[in-house]
Structures are given as structure tokens and as C-alpha cells.
A and B are shown apart, each in its own frame.
Chain A
Amino acid sequence: MKVLALLIALSSLVSAVIWTEQHTRTLDEHSLAFGKKLPKSTVIIGRLGLADTRTAVVISAEGHLISPYLGSIDGEPSPYLLYHPDGRREELTTILEKDKLNFAILKTESPGLAPVPLSERSDDTFFVTGCAPITKLGEQAHFQVCHLLAQPAEDSKVVSLDLQTVGLGDAVFNLDGSLTGIISKYTNGGPQATLLSRIIEKDAKLSEVLPELVKSSPTQLPKAPSLTKDELKELEQSALRLAREKEALQIFPSPLPSVLIFNVDKQRTHSIIGTIVDANGLILTKASELGPNLAVRYNGKTHPAVLLSTDEKSDLALVGIEASDMPVIQWHEDIPPSGSSLAAPKLLKETTSEMLSEESALLGNFIGIQKSGTPTIHQTSSVTSLGVVTEQLDNGLQISAIRSKSSASKSGLTVGDTIVNIDKTKTPTRSTLTSFLNSKAVGDEVQVNISRGGSTQTFAVTLESPDLMPPTTGISANSYIPVIPSVRRSPFPDCLVHTLSLNAWDCGSPLYDQNGKAIGLNIASLSAGKTLALTPREIRASLERLLTNSRQF
């Protein structure tokens, strides 16, 4: 009853932010404009020794950046790095670090960047920028559209957003593209942002660093009501999200051209979504999730199913059931603008240990296209690695681990060696070592002079691409919603990338844009907030291969 009362009380707020057609259209125009500005106003950054990549925003003509705070690996203040789209790495000057507020002010020497205006005003709809935990070469920041949920009663300058996945320190923009806040906290229901005006109010030093930081405009107060924490919690967890999902359900075609496919494997039951491509029982799904015995749940009944063929390139499989007059998917080649809203049906709702289908929706935003075979920014040829992990000692860097099968491991270097110099260049600290490595290319041979038990020796090491550990555990470093990612997450042909947080078992489903057009098929959940979908072009090509080459029966 309480939830219901709250729902009614907040219905005005809900109707203000759900996807009414008019709202969406204007929002799309804003999205388009924002998306165009983004490449020059945002950069991909990281920190020496960390595999994570994040997005920083240009806030001054002199190259000041506001960036998420990244913890240093071992207390040594290692430099922040700017990853250029061409694979170059630039060491940034750290102006200010605020670990409690989760941001840092950095400075780049790169020309050609366009600062965003900072604003004290805050809208009720925002763009939040971010990037993948591991960014591919040439990939730029993406953004999500989100709405103001509410503000906690006691503090008007902290707002709750209806986002699903976001990182601490990510930047929050108004619809006009002005920077208004920083993601500062996670709560059960969603993230909270602290408004810029509050940050400046609290931190005198910030305005010293950047005088005239904020360009005030007539204050347009947020429309959301102030709520108590209890109300807020209830709202975050249920009302608005449900309302949005309900809206999304209406854009799906009815009947939905999707089925649930079970993997019946001894006692274990797993499932995955399938998309109907032929009225007489042909279903597309993700091949690598399929086990030996299949069954399909369609139209309230469980049908015996058979695997007909698999396509290695796309990781699609064709599954057949005996049925007729099934609703068939209609693909649309449209590629939506970056940031526009997307939805996918979520068929799995468990009521008992037997899973029954009950439709609900996953929501997210479009990011862009991922070209196949693109290396990550850590793997580019201009980024080199010595293949060793070092420990900072008083007298220099000591080797604490050596990557197996690397050139370093074959060279004769051993754990415990202290690096004296490389190619006669002294490298007493990590930053000097990085600077040196940045000046070299992959494949270069260097002479590593080390001290071992009092004597010095020299070994020849060929520089390789670094091999950092991506956050693949399903709980990616910059998000708080854990997902269970797909078994196969790479490689794929060109794919649509979007922010829907899919679990492995949500793949195989169609991806819809806000007009109800199916623009792709979800093929791999990479991490929370990052999923790949095959384009209709790739799906058609793959379907042709699937129909031509049946598997060996």
C-alpha cells in the first residue's frame, strides 16, 4: 500500500520523465548536439599501472581537465595518463586530487580541445559521460541519458539519478551540454551526483586553481520534490524504474518474436533468449551458451528443440522447433545517434525453480559501433612493456614478478634484480621507467642493466605490448551492478555497443530503439553497462552461412 501511495504521489514526476513522444524528440535533438561536441570536450584517461580507463572533461582553454579520481597502485603518486585516439600516451600534470569527492583536476598540453561551460544550474534530465572499463583504440567517451530522481531532503545539492551503471567521478551534464555535477555516491537504488556549485562551495582551493570557474546562469531549480530518505529509497527501487520499464514494454511488438531456450544438462538448467527468424520454427541465439540438450519455451509450452547449425564468426546458432505461425523479427538497419535510448526484452522471470517467461525490459543507451579486431588502447604498438612488475625501493626499482612467456622471462632477468639503467638511461622510479618506455616502440631491443647480489649484469629484452588485467570478473571496476558476462566476449564482427546491463542469459534477444525497431541482436555481455549487439547486416550474412552449412548430424 505504501508503495502505491508513493506512486500516486509521485505520478507527476514520473510522467515528466517517461518516454512521451514529444519529450523524446527534443531529447534526441539535445543528444545529437551533445554527442557532436563530445569528442573534442572529453578525453580517455588512466593512471600508470592501472588497467582501467575513464573519461575526463576539458574545462578550460589552458587544458584543465576534471577527471575521476583514480587510486594510485601503491601509494607512489604515479602520473595520470591521457590515451590519445592514435595510441599515444601523454603524462598529465596533476593539479589537484580529491579522493573523498572522487575527482581530480589534471592538465594536458594537447592542443585542439574545446572546454565545456560549467554551470550552477541543473536540469531534470542529464547526460552522464563514461567509457568502457577497457577502452579500444580510437574509442571515445560515450554518454547515457538519465533523469533526476529526487534530492535527499537535507541537502539540495546532491541529486539522485535513475542510471543503472556509472562510475564514481563521472561527469554529469545539463541538456545544453554544460557541466553540472560529479557522480559522488552509490546508493541501493542508484547513483547520486554532487552538484558543481556544492563542490566549489566546499572547496576554496578549487576556485583558487580555476578562478571564475562557474558561469552562473539564472537558476532554474530542479523540479523534483524533496524526499525523505525512506521515500527516496522506495522510489529508487521501484516506482520510477517500473514505470519506465512499463513504457518500454509498449514499444515492443506484440507478440514478441522471442523465445526462451533451455539448456538441459544433467540436473542443471540454464537458459538463453532466442529470436525467431522464421515462422516455421527457426530461432537465432548465441551459440557458445548452448549445451547438448535443448528445449524451447514458446507460447506457454515447452517444445523439444534441436541445434541445426552454428556460425563461428558471429557466435550465432540456429535452433529448430516444430511450430508454425511464429511471430518473426523485422530488422531495421538504422543506427541511432550516440546516447539515444534503447531497450531489450528480458524474458526471464523466475517464479519457481522452473523458469517461466514473463516479459520485462532492460533499458540503456546506445554508445556506438565497435569495429571488429580493434585492439585496446593498452595493446597499441606505441605502448610498450618490459614484461616485469617492479617494486619501488630506495635504491631503485626492483623486479618483483616477471610475466611468463615474455621476452623478459627468457632474457635471464630474475625476481629480485634491481634495475640500474636501461640503454644507459637511469630509471630509478616508475615514472622515469614509463617515460623511457614511452619513447620506444614494440619490438625494440633494449639493454637492461641490473644489479644482482652486488654485481651488475646486462640483459637484452625485446619490448612487448603490455598485458594488463582487464576487469573481467563480472564486477567491472567502474560500475556497481554486477553482471554475469558471456562465455564468449570476443572476437566479433562490427557490433553495436550499448549500455544495457545484460547477464549472459539475456543475450540472444533483439535490441529495440525507442521507436520499436529491432536494430540488432544482443550477442555478448562484456561487463556491467557494456553489451555488444550484432547489426542486421551481420545477422543476415550469418544467417545465410547458418542455412547453407548445417552441422554434421
Chain B
Amino acid sequence: MKFLLPFLFSLSLALGQTPEELDRTLKKLAPDLVASTVAIMVGQGSGSGVIVTADGLVITAAHVTSTPGKQMSVLLSDGRELPATSLGVDHNTDGALLKINSPGPFPFRPYIKEKNYEVGEFAIATGHPGGPVVGRPSPIRLGRIIEAGTKSGFNDAITTTATVISGDSGGPLYNLKGEVIGINSNIGMPWSVNKHVPLPAIVAKWDELMNNETIGAAQSMTQQTEYYFDEPYAGLREKFETALEENSGDPLAAELLKHPRLLDPHHMQDFLDRIDTEEEEGETVDEIPKAPYFGFTLDLKASSPRIASIQPGGPAEKAGLARGDVITSANNQAVESPISLALKLKTKAPLTLTTANNKTATLSPEEVPARRHFPQPVAGLISMMITNDSGKQPDSIQKSNLEFLTSLNVLQQALQNSVLEIKRGDKTVIHATVVSPTGRLVTKASELSKPEELLAYFKGRTYPITIIGTDKATDIALISINADGLVSVRWEEDEPSPATLVFSPLPDDMAYGVVTQPARSAPKKGFEKNVSSKEPSAYLGVSFSPETTSAIISGVDLDSPADKIGFLEGDEVIKMNGKSIDTSEELGEAISKHGPGEKIIIIVKRGDKEITLKPILDVRQAKAIGTFDRTAARRDDSLSSLSGRGGKLSKRRNDFPRTLYHDQVLKPQNCGAPLINRKGEVVGLNIARALRHRSLAIPAKTVNEVAKKLRR
């Protein structure tokens, strides 16, 4: 038994005690974790799931499948889309099963039957945030377990800091052995609250779920009383109703309680703003937008700007305006109609009005909560349920993170002369990374407004900055400061692979996370389309004339599998995999049964000869980027809005060329700092806090090219 001890010792290391081991474990596991993660297409919506048996049993969330026996399709990591049927659902835990209606074998991951996880351990979440995207494997998110529940995804969940969002619902949470320990279920607004159904809770109802049973009732059916507002309004409505009950003494609340009405979000929000002007403790809330308030109404029927009423105690009354006054100019500009005056009232600065009887009044507007725009829920995503949980991180997590990062102190020390803060007054605006010891730094260009007010901090001293040049595409600025002792960073131009552990060293902090997916461009809002369930999943690259049903090829796409293997226009397909083919439709159907990466055998007739061709099918073709899609834009808005409620995002956070995607929870002002691997080599420059689950960095190679270009 002596040999057991060293073995156990190495096992504990493999569980990620040190950054080196964690990095190695993650890289080794990642491909398998991603391979077993699927997207689930239900009607027009999509969620995620994980395959747990070779014959295609999938664990997902009850709010994804919602009822047993429903037909849906599953999008595998290899691009194949296969029909599936939902099995049982447990609305009490949010666990559910479904079965792919094909024999497989499929890539699968083992799942735990009993609790084997503890607070503080690392866990990995996968899924399809924002819905599956052509050519994007499931992003990997790393986090720590902050609550280790066992009974339900709602009130006794596994809570982690692995950031998930709408579309991830139903996706797996893995431990560092690669076992499924939870299922993504719901989130609190803060980025650190991500709740997963504990696998033991699903295993406890395994037989019932396999037996197509419905356990409990859907949350929405038992908890909500009005269904006229979908998320995000349901949460608002709940707050509103609570506020009504708690403030029943308030005259407006009393009125509303007496005559319960269906109010739109503006009315609910107005009431909440009135009742509760204080921010909730411990929760980051969106800054309430403010609008100027002058305290009068206008007579819209009059042709000239005439004051219809004055609000007692408001700025207009204080300035001496009265009912019936006709305004002739605002800030010495003539105003001729109610509309032209109203347009002047959008300012928050003092406004001097002159009346027809030559009275002059200077109004200092008050600031009141502005109307907000309530974005629509998005069709096409199964949204993550939102809980009110503010989720406090136990001190033990802070401690274990500190321990984890301590071994990297060396790196931070090494970079302390290479990463600078740039401030306006006391406020950190952005960071910058030294690219030459002569005082050249790179940073995020769009954050450098009023550069004359900005100061770079280095070794306790401040330096004014000079902008040498900016690059619009990457949002990189090259700046210079006149300081001695700067040390340029070491670049690593090879792009880190997915699951690589990465860090962002800041002068007094260090963020860590993983590269979530292969590098790709970060398109503009609305330009990244989701996989549409209607397209065939495997791609050959031949087209047929619509005028005939025959299987005579009328076109071969350049660089397609068909092109590479030598299909020609005019070839008539007569057989595929031994089965005869008469029409293009039959060929399409036959191909749709195969997935990308599979080799098929096609016999074509070319003139008098029969030729056998063996193409390897490719993944479904990405739709042309460069066209705007309204649904995608709505999705992007919705994801931004949801993310923005948990913390601040960068102002410019999309429309970049090829970028590295990672999951570090950065602040927008942390951008401009380098993204380093565990050896301390700089692999990129952090350029945007983009979404709850996404930060972006420009790859090292691009940074160097841009810096070189700007230097000239």
C-alpha cells in the first residue's frame, strides 16, 4: 500500500491547488467538457444541456424543456443537429432529462450521484450563452463554489462565480475531475451569483424523470399572479407589488391598491423611484438616469410657448414665472412654438427665459428620475431565471483566492513597472501597458476623453500624457509619458488556447480567469447570428437548379468539401453510401443524417463514366457576417442590459477585429492592463468588459502591429 500515498498526493495537486496544475487540468479537460455540451433548440428558443450517456441521455434544466414528451432538437458540439424528446421535468429543483432520438454513440461526461464538492473548490461551467453561434464552441467559464447546496437549483443550489447568462440554462457545471456536478439554472444580478441545480437533487428523482413524470409546477405558474409582463418586467412587477404592500400608507399606493390595475413598467418604476430612492445595500444597481425638471406645463394648443401651469415650489415658481406667461426666448434664442421651447428644456444647465412682457427668469433645473427604456425580452433565448439573491462571497473564498494568487506575486512584481493607472482627479479612468522603456504605453483609446485632464500614476508620481496616435479598429491608443524606470512587457504572440488560465495584473490587484473560446472577431451589435435550426447541419457545398428535381449539380462552392474532392458542375449524383439517389431532395435528406467530419461516399455520373467521390462533410456554413440582424441586435441589447445590472460594462465593447475572449470579471477601468499567462508573458491587451461572462483582449500580435503603426 505504500505506493498509494504519492499517488494521492499527486491527485490533490491535480485538483488545482496551484495555478500550474489548474492550468494543466483545465487544458486537458476542456475539449471533453465542451464536446459533451449541447445546445437545445425548443421551438424558437434555445438552451443548453450535457450528454451523460453514450446513447444520448442529456441532463438539462426543467425551464428549458418545460414538459415531458416534447419534440426538440439538440445541437451537438460537432455541428450535428439531431431530434430529441424531453423526458421528465422537476420544477421543484429545475432538473430535467431528455433523450436524443439517435443511437449514438455520443461524447458524454460522467455525473456524480452524491455530493463530493465543497465551498471554495473550482468548478467549470459550459453552455451556449446568448444561444449557439455558428463556429463558436461552448465557452468555458471558471469559478469557485461559494455555496454547496444539494437539494434544489432554487433554494439549496450550488452557487458559483462561474458567470453564466441567458442561453446557458441547462448547461453543465463540472468539477475538476470533469464530472457533472450541477446544471445551470438561475442567476442573481451580481456577476458572482450563478446558481446550478445540484446533481444529487436530480439523481434523487432519477426514476421519476426517466419515467417522463412532471414533478411540481413551473415556477412561473405558482409564483406569479399576472403574466402580462415577461422578464425583465416580472421582477419589476414583484418589486412594485411588494413596495405597494409595504407603503400602503402612501396616498398613491393606497389608490393603486384600491384599484388594482395593469401598469406598464414606466408606472411601476416611477412609483418605485418615488418610494425608494435609496440604493439597496450590497447590490450594484444601475445608475438611475436623471432628467431635468423645471416645474411647469405648457399649453400645447397655443401657437406660441405659453405656460399652462406652475408646480408649487418648483424651479419655475422660484424663478418668478407665472401661469399664462408667454416665452419668447430661451438663452437668448427665439422660441416660437411650444415644441421649440420644449426642445430647449432638455438641458440640465440653468436656462434663462424671457417672456413677452419682458420678464427675465433664470431657472435652475432639478434632477429627477428620467423615463427609462425597458428593453424587450428576446425571442430565441431561453432566459436564465433571475433571483433576488445578492449572494455574499464567504471570506474563505477571498482567502483561497489570495492563496491561489500568492504564488503569482512574482509576476505582479515583475510587471509593477509595466502597468500604470491613468486617473482623472481621484477616479481611475483606465490602465496602460508599457511597450517601450522610452515612455510609450498602449491603452484603450475611447476612454481618453479630455486627455489634458488625465494623469498617469507611476511610483507615487503623476505624469501628464500625450496621445501619439489611436487606432479606431482595435480602440488602441499609443501614448507617451515622460517617466524614467518604465519596463516594457514580454509579449507572447501565440494565441492562448481555450481553457488557458489567464491573469490581469493591476497595480494593487490581480484578476484571474480562463480563455473561454478560440479567438475570433467581436462583431458589432446585431452582426453575430445564432445558429438557425432550419439550416442543414452538415455542409457539402453543392447546389442544384430549382427548375428540376434531378440531382444534377448546378454549382460547387469554392473551397467547400465538394470542391476539394473534385465535384464538377454537371455531375449527376446517383448514389450515396450505397443508396440510390434520384432527386436533389433525396440527397439533401441523406446528407442531413450525417454530421460534420463524417466521410460520405457519393457516386456521380460524369458523361458516360461513374466516378466515386468521398468528401468529408464540414460544419454548417456560417452566415455571412456583414449583415445586420434585428433579432441578434435585440439579443445583444438584452444580454447587455442583463449584464449591466450586475456591474459596469465598457462603453465601447464590441466591433473589434480578432480578439481573445476570457471570463475575468474586470471593471471597465481595468482595461488597458495586459492579459498574461501564468508564465508572465503578455498574450493580449484587455480592451473591453463586454458582458457578464465576457471580457475581450486584443491579441499580442495585433497590439504590436498597431503600436508599430502608430509610432510612425
> Which A residues lie at the B interface, using CB under 8 A?
2, 5-6, 74-75, 153, 188, 228-231, 233-234, 263, 265, 267-268, 270, 280-282, 287-292, 304-309, 312, 315, 318, 320-322, 348, 350-353, 389, 391, 400-405, 467, 469-470, 472-475, 482-485, 487-491, 504, 546-553
Contact = CB atoms under 8 A, between A and B. Distances in A.
B220 interface: yes
A351 B526 CA distance: 11
B585 interface: yes
Nearest to B314: A552
A489 B228 contact: yes
Given A400-B217, A474-B377, A504-B376, A553 B342 contact: yes
B343 A308 contact: no
Given A270-B373, A322-B339, A292 B227 contact: no
A487 B265 contact: yes
Interface in B223-271: 223, 225, 227-230, 233, 261-262, 264-267
Interface in B191-214: 214
B587 to A, nearest CB: 12
Contacts of B547: 2, 5, 228, 230-231
B282 interface: no
B679 interface: no
A403 B217 CA distance: 10
Contact of B379 (A5, A233, A289, A482): A482
Interface string B287-319: 001010111111111000000100100000000
A485 B378 CA distance: 10
B339 A306 contact: yes
B370 A321 contact: no
Contact of A550 (B267, B298, B373): B298
25 contacts: A2-B545, A230-B544, A230-B549, A287-B266, A290-B371, A291-B373, A306-B345, A308-B298, A352-B628, A353-B628, A400-B217, A403-B225, A469-B220, A473-B377, A474-B230, A475-B379, A487-B229, A487-B264, A487-B265, A504-B376, A547-B300, A550-B300, A550-B308, A550-B338, A553-B294
A491 B264 CA distance: 10
Contacts of B338: 308, 320, 550
Interface in B617-634: 628, 630, 633-634
Contacts of B311: 552
A353 B222 contact: no
Interface residues of B, number: 79
A504 to B, nearest CB: 5
Contacts of B295: 552-553
B641 interface: yes
Nearest to B267: A312
Contacts of A291: 371-373
Contacts of A389: 217, 221-222
A307 B546 contact: no
Given A153-B549, A228-B549, A231-B546, A401 B293 contact: no
Contacts of B216: 400-401
Contact of A469 (B221, B289, B376): B221
B524 interface: yes
Contact of A401 (B217, B230, B337, B534): B217
B300 A308 contact: yes
A292 B215 contact: no
Given A280-B339, A490-B262, A475 B222 contact: no
A304 B343 contact: yes
A288 B293 CA distance: 20
B375 A281 contact: no
Given A229-B585, A263-B373, A404-B223, A547 B301 contact: yes
Contacts of A305: 343
Nearest to A475: B44
A553 B265 contact: no
Nearest to A320: B339
B651 interface: yes
Contact of A472 (B225, B227, B637): B227
Contacts of B229: 487
B379 A484 contact: yes
B284 to A, nearest CB: 16
Contact of B546 (A2, A391, A473, A484): A2
A74 B300 CA distance: 59
A265 B637 CA distance: 11
B366 to A, nearest CB: 11
Given A403-B222, A489-B228, A353 B525 contact: yes
Contact of A292 (B298, B300, B370, B524): B370
Contacts of A404: 222-223, 225
Interface string B512-526: 000000000000111
A348 to B, nearest CB: 8
Binding site secondary structure of chain B = loop
Nearest to A303: B343
A268 B651 contact: no
Contacts of A270: 373, 375, 637
Contacts of B267: 312
B346 interface: yes
Contacts of A553: 293-298, 342, 345
B524 A353 contact: yes
B433 interface: no
A144 to B, nearest CB: 22
A132 B525 CA distance: 34
Given A288-B264, A315-B264, A230 B546 contact: yes
B630 A401 contact: no
A267 B651 contact: yes
B343 A306 contact: yes
Nearest to B363: A553
A70 to B, nearest CB: 13
A318 B343 CA distance: 13
A188 B532 CA distance: 12
Contact of A490 (B43, B228, B372, B377): B228
A482 B530 CA distance: 15
A551 B297 contact: yes
Nearest to B628: A350
B55 to A, nearest CB: 24
A424 to B, nearest CB: 28
A547 to B, nearest CB: 5
Contact of B633 (A281, A353, A485, A488): A353
B679 to A, nearest CB: 36
B640 A548 contact: no
B116 interface: no
A36 B494 CA distance: 74
Contact of B373 (A188, A234, A265): A265
Contact of B526 (A309, A318, A353, A482): A353
A231 B546 CA distance: 6
A268 B640 contact: yes
Contact of B293 (A265, A489, A552): A552
B225 A234 contact: no
B357 interface: no
Nearest to A403: B222
Nearest to B649: A267
Interface string B374-413: 1111111000000000000000000000000000000000
A281 B340 CA distance: 10
A288 B265 CA distance: 8
B343 A234 contact: no
Contacts of A470: 227
Contacts of A308: 298, 300, 338-339, 342
A306 B346 contact: yes
B546 A6 contact: yes
Nearest to B343: A306
Contacts of B343: 304-306, 320, 322
A230 B227 contact: no
A268 B339 contact: no
B412 to A, nearest CB: 33
A437 B371 CA distance: 45
B548 interface: yes
A485 B228 CA distance: 10
